[in-house]
Structure 1
Amino acid sequence: MKFADIVRLFGDKAWFDFEMVLLLSGEAPACVHTALYRLRESGKIIELRRGLFSLAEPWRHRGLGTGAAPAFAASLSSAIYPPSYLSGRWVLKRCGALESAIQSQDSLPEFSAVTARPAKVFENSFGRYSYATLPRDLLFGAMTELAGSERFRLAFPEKALLDLCFLEGGEWDKARFEAEGFGTGLRAGRLNLERLGAFAARAGRPRLARA
């Protein structure tokens, strides 16, 4: 398959995988592997994880360009390790409940997510994607957002806080919240306390209810 065909077929998609190219090209698997390897080495496609790719700029289009870069990078999270949804520190920083540390220009954006699958970490040119394992009964409280034409799932901020408290363990009191950088954001009313209480009750974990 020629690169022009890949752009035509996947230019408006956040990602595509080896199986898609194999099916649409009708070529032998070895030929597809070689073609994708050459495109990756030339910088025309980006490997998100083994067998999963995204077109590099300027071939990515239809609302998936640089202007939507943070949301686009976030939208890749669910595809990199499904099923999962963004949660924890990334969601809390996004909504302003948690103070963001100053990052150097060379550091990769950090995306935190949760899943029922084993914990994993993936790095690519869009960022570092960390997936923590939650019990299945705690995988609730997520919503869907759009990044260009792509949908992605993320926790409500209140559920992201509970996920963080559960995953990092221990007791969470006022001093610990402030030490972690939550003081200003929580005082500014970034979280819906009624929703937080409902999620804590549904979780059924006394430690989360105390937090």
Structure 2
Amino acid sequence: MTYLEFKESMREFPVFSVREIEKHFPNFDNRRLVEWQEKGYIQKLRNRYYRFTDYKVDEAYLFYCANVIYGPSYVSLESALSVYGFIPEGVFQITSCTTVKTNTFETPIGNFAYRNLKSGLFFGYHLQQWDGHHYAIAGPEKTIIDYLYLHSELESPADFESLRWNAAEISARISMEKLDTYISHIGSNALQNRINHLKDFLNANA
């Protein structure tokens, strides 16, 4: 099998796993993967996951990769906060939430970090279209909730001041009704307290 034949058969997968290769080519010789890496045709992202090197590495592609190489997962936390303009700076890694164990991966195209959430909190995301594919990313309200859920050290409105969050952008983009509905569904008093502190912070910076 030539590389061109392989790529033609696998072109629908911007990121592909050994399992997907074996579905298309039951007798595939894994030594080809080493050979094609050496030639720069493909890159290994993590164990058993690879990418074609001619795909442009931009934010959407990285978010797609984040979903594929470890899941189930969706982009959230600092990465989503940055997308929505809730924090002033970009982030140095792609951050996601997952129902499997917390993990990180350093890859040739960037670092990917995953934080565990219990299955009952795995909601509030949507599918964003990208190049004929899609990736899952938390909505603005769930992004806020995910962050607060995982940061129990936020105990007062002053703690939010130290985060340098963009209060005006948060107030403009999130639905307080949806936020309250999510909190009611989760049923956590500790999380409710953090949301109250967030609201105080937003009101003070309106």
Which interval holds the TM-score relative to the shorter structure? 0.7 to 0.9
Whole-angstrom distance in 2 between the partners of 1:88 and 1:124: 20
Task: Find the counterpart in structure 2 of residue 116 from structure 1.
Answer: 99
Q: How does 1:27-66 map to 2 (within 5 A)?
A: 27=27, 32-57=29-54, 60=55, 65=56
Q: Is the 8 A contact 1:46 1:54 kept in 2?
A: yes
Unaligned runs of 5+ in 1: 104-108
* Distance change in 2, residues 1:174/1:128 (3 Å): same
Alignment of 1:1-211 (within 5 A): 1-27=1-27, 32-57=29-54, 60=55, 65=56, 69-101=58-90, 109-186=92-169, 189-210=172-193, 211=195
The answer as to whether partners of 2:141 and 2:179 remain within 8 angstroms in 1 is: yes
What secondary structure sits across from 1:171 in the alignment?
Answer: coil
Contact 1:48 1:124 in 2 (8 A): yes
Distance 2:159 2:166 in 1: 9
Deviation at 1:205, TM superposition (A): 0.9
Question: How does the TM-score come out when normalised to structure 2?
Answer: 0.85
Higher relative contact order (CA 8 A, sep 6+): 1
The one-letter amino acid paired with 1:130 is A
2: CA distance, partners of 1:185 / 1:117: 34
Shift of 1:185: 4.8
Percent identity, please: 21
User: Aligned letter for 1:142?
Assistant: Y
User: CA separation in 2, counterparts of 1:4 and 1:15?
Assistant: 16
Q: Which moved more, 1:181-190 or 1:195-204?
A: 181-190
Contact 1:14–1:54 (CA under 8 A) maintained in structure 2: yes
Q: Structure 2, unaligned stretches of length 5 or more?
A: 196-206
Higher mean alpha-carbon deviation, 48-57 vs 189-198, is at 189-198
